[in-house]
């Protein structure tokens, strides 16, 4: 069971290596990796979400009252064992800061039995999707489909000001492309700890031609290491409007 859960992550990492190799070499034989399930996006989806799938299969889905409840994005702020365990798997009290698609943030906690091999997925600063009720109670969203989770994440980012409505449109409707980071200049930090940077990118279109673009982005600190000069990153853009791109980075921090 554990091997099956880790398989998507392993495949994602392998695909990422080939995708980056293709970006560095410019070899068209790697073009097939630019689809929706290219390496970076698969790693983004599988890191917290494969863990949730494992919980759903091994320890049951969400409680009945949480079914069809809206999804928010929880950031782990603390973890403690409750003293209960099932087949040697501990129950954890997970403290969270939950951000919702309508722009609200609130503290919450969720109790969850976690496989010993998955403890690293619920450490402080980890990101976990949750279902939440009007009274502030939450449960890990172990029942949600990946598109639903990704849509919730995107809308939380818009509500928090980390993504503009136009960038959301690009993320949902744009075409995949690869870009080389030409320059990265830190310009400051937001009140919620995001890093503001100015990126110079050279984007390769599907036909092999390129265009350059300079943009300001607000990134989680963990993503700054993914956009260093010389690195190849995945982006999405609208062919009829090349004035802006949506940057795809792994979901962490």
pLDDT in tens, 88-147: 888 889 999 999 999 899 999 998 888 777 777 788 878 888 999 999 999 998 888 888
Smallest Cα–Cα separation from 213: which of 183, 248, 172?
Answer: 183
Domains of the chain, earliest start first: 62-157 (2.40.50), 164-253 (2.40.50)
How many angstroms separate the CA atoms of 117 and 174, rounded?
37
Q: What percent of the chain has pLDDT over 70?
A: 74
Smallest Cα–Cα separation from 235: which of 196, 188, 202, 207?
Answer: 202
Residue 119 tokens read as: 């403890």
Q: What angle do CA 63, 112, 59 make, to 5 degrees?
A: 65
How many angstroms separate the CA atoms of 159 and 153, rounded?
10
pLDDT level of residue 177 (50, 70, 90 thresholds): very high
Tell me the backbone φ, ψ of residue 201, rounded to 5 degrees.
-125, 145
Could you identify the residue written with the tokens 């695909």? 15
Mean pLDDT of the chain: 75
How many angstroms separate the CA atoms of 175 and 39, rounded?
16
What pLDDT is attached to residue 202?
96
Which residues are registered as beta bridge partners of 98? Answer: 74, 106
**Under 8 Å between Cβ of 132 and 100:** yes
What pLDDT is attached to residue 157?
82
Q: What is the CA radius of gyration of the chain?
A: 19
Neighbouring CB atoms inside 10 A of 236's CB total 19
Chain centre to alpha carbon of residue 181: 20
Residue 218 tokens read as: 């607000």
Q: What is the DSSP letter of 102?
A: T
């Amino acid at each position: 069971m554990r091997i099956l859960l880790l398989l998507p992550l392993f495949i994602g990492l392998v695909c990422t290596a080939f995708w980056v190799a293709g970006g560095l070499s410019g070899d068209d034989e790697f073009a097939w990796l630019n689809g929706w399930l290219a390496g970076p996006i698969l790693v983004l989806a599988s890191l917290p979400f494969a863990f949730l799938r494992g919980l759903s299969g091994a320890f049951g889905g969400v409680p009945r009252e949480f079914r069809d409840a809206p999804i928010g994005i929880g950031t782990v702020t603390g973890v403690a064992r409750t003293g209960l365990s099932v087949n040697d798997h501990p129950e954890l009290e997970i403290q969270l800061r939950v951000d919702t698609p309508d722009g609200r943030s609130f503290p919450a906690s969720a109790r969850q039995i976690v496989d010993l091999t998955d403890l690293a997925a619920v450490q402080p600063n980890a990101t976990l999707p949750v279902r939440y009720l009007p009274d502030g109670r939450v449960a890990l969203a172990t029942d949600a489909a990946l598109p639903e989770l990704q849509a919730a994440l995107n809308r939380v980012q818009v509500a928090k000001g980390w993504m503009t409505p136009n960038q959301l449109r690009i993320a949902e409707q744009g075409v995949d492309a690869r870009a080389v980071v030409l320059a990265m200049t830190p310009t400051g930090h937001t009140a919620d700890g995001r890093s503001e940077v100015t990126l110079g990118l050279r984007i390769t279109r599907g036909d092999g031609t390129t265009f350059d673009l300079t943009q300001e982005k607000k990134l989680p600190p963990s993503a700054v290491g993914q956009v260093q000069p010389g690195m190849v990153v995945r982006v999405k853009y609208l062919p009829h409007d090349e004035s802006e791109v949506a940057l795809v980075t792994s979901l962490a921090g």
